[in-house]
Amino acid sequence: MSRYRTFTAQDAVEYARQFGGLDNPSSLVEAQEVGDGNLNLVFKIFDSAGVSRIIVKQALPYVRCVGESWPLTLDRARLEAQTLIEHYKHSPQHTVKITHFDPALAVMVMEDLSSHSIWRSELITNRYYPQAVHQLGEYLAHTLFHTSDFYLHPHEKKAQVANFINPEMCEITEDLFFNDPYQIHERNNYPDELENDVAALRDDAPLKIAVASLKHRFFSQAEALLHGDIHSGSLFVAASSLKAIDAEFGYFGPIGFDVGTAIGNLLLNFCGLPGHLGIRDAAAAREQRLTDIQELWNTFAERFQTLANEKTRDAALSTPGYASAFLKKVWQDAIGFCGTELIRRSVGLSHVADIDTIHDDAMRHECLRHAITLGKALIVIAGRIDSPEELVARVRQYS
């Protein structure tokens, strides 16, 4: 018989007292449910002085923003906890720490990040964290290298791939990224004013062939343990810190997917900034986003290359020049996946606040069109974009 039950705030307090690891657990007195995502309950646990000390997160057996008509596996909580634990081994300074996990209750206890802010919110209000993209590049390089064939023994890699099979969550990604926006589907969500733009996606044969190729890579290339949903809403930042959270989409897939998703969310912010700051005042912030994208890739690629030079265990993969050739393939994958992120966040079920919170309807629609146009272009011409500088030039071309 299943032990699963949906937690109340009081349940979360009692659980934190038992498994939070505090010297004085009785000081925990109150919980506040703060989850604003689509899949989980998230409780902040406060002590008697009103200080948030611990986070308790529980997976729900359905998609929260839809309801019980869209059921979900609770095993995703195990996969999230184990992904974060594995990533913490390789990048502890940039991964939230999981201190306890119960698979039967689909509950985990983790460090409180109240000293940090959600990066997406900070980007929207133009609060700049100079270290953030560098630290994100470091996180991606360390987690993706150390869970790849460059570093893991083949037996360990294959066992890890089997352990992180995540079919239900991958199916959500497969549908939302590669299927729904390119067909008429009830999950799609966009203003009526964009109908012609969206219909053009459905009628664009070269685009759909390129998307099919990206989906096939997502299906078949088990290159490293991905976060699977690494966007600015799943990253917390402070003055000298960046921490990744929310890894329930973790699985072994193409490295370019994580990198492309991260770049795509910086470009979504780029597209939305005029709606928040005004066209003239957004110019400097948009230039910073383009610089950020170049720094993100350069940090990731340089660190991955260094790790490959120092730590690659496979004789063939350590051949001089191979890691560099592999990174060129990752780059082109990343550009394509970046494009799918732009389109799915504009047309599909799950949007981003960078654009959705723009108050002026006409400006919001224009920002959505920009994201769709840019996304479509990047998907189709990904193979012809050879460098971050070329990417920036293409973004300017479609702005």
Count structural domains, the chain: 2
Domain co-membership, 101 together with 126: no
278: left (phi over 0), alpha (psi -120 to 50) or beta: left
Q: Which parts of 34-122 are beta strand (E)? A: 40-47, 52-59, 62-63, 67-71, 98-102, 107-111, 117-118
Same domain, 139 and 95: no
What's this model's pTM, rounded to 2 decimal places? 0.96
Domain extent at residue 13: 9-111
Residues 85 and 125 in one domain: no
Pair (250, 152) in one structural domain: yes
Same domain, 77 and 169: no
CB 115 within 8 A of CB 104: no
Residue 128 has a pLDDT of 97
Question: Tens of pLDDT along 105-117?
Answer: 999 999 999 999 9
Q: The domain spanning residue 78 has which CATH number? A: 3.30.200.20
The predicted pLDDT at position 37 comes to: 64
Count the Cβ atoms, other than its own, within 10 Å of residue 82.
19
The three-class DSSP label of residue 283 is: helix
Beta-ladder partners of 44: 32, 55
Average pLDDT over residues 368-374: 98
**What pLDDT, in 10s, does the model give residues 124-166?**
999 999 999 999 999 999 999 999 999 999 999 999 999 999 9
Claim to verify: residue 302 and residue 354 sit in the same structural domain: yes
Query: What's the pLDDT tens digit per position in 221-261?
Result: 999 999 999 999 999 999 999 999 999 999 999 999 999 99
